[in-house]
Amino acid sequence: MPDGSATRVSYGVFNLTHRDGSAAPVALTSGERYRVRLTLDACAHEFGIGNRLRLSLATTYWPLIWPAPEGATHEVTLGNTALHLPVRKAHGDELPVKFHAPERGPATPAEQVRGGSMHALHLMT
């Protein structure tokens, strides 16, 4: 958004060990390059003039996806990278599609049972 805010428009989850199919996952070799294709979930979003796109890649997406048993890092080579977005064009006399603000129901009442806390966890191996 022009004001610096961000909205998640779509996401996709892809376990790289399944890059050649899910029937027989294959482990990755450290330092080796792999070419993969990731399809994001379908969505409908109108990007306004001045909006920018951010593509974020991560090795985990907790709490939606259970983390891998071992830590991982990845490197993305951008030389052959492409992001393909569909574009809906108006046909003939068709008026532009207008999206209205979303409607929301009343907030669900919530009761805090106890305060939360966050602590760093250091594992010794």
Q: What is the mean pLDDT of each run of 10 residues along the chain (125 residues)?
A: 79 89 90 88 81 84 83 82 80 79 88 81 60
Q: Is residue 117 part of a domain?
A: no
Residue 58: per-residue pLDDT = 83
Which pLDDT value is given to residue 101? 86
User: How many separate domains does the chain show?
Assistant: 1
pLDDT of residue 2: 67
The verdict on residue 30 lying in a domain is: yes
pLDDT for position 114 = 86
Q: Does 44 reside within a domain?
A: yes
Q: Is residue 61 part of a domain?
A: yes
Residue 116 included in any domain? no
**Residue 11 covered by a domain:** yes
CA nearest neighbour of 13 among 54, 53, 63, 84: 63
Q: Report in angstroms the alpha-carbon separations of 43 from 9, 12, 46.
A: 7, 11, 10
Q: What is the pLDDT of residue 124?
A: 60
pLDDT value for 121: 64
Q: What is the pTM of this model?
A: 0.58
State which residues form the domain around 22. 1-101
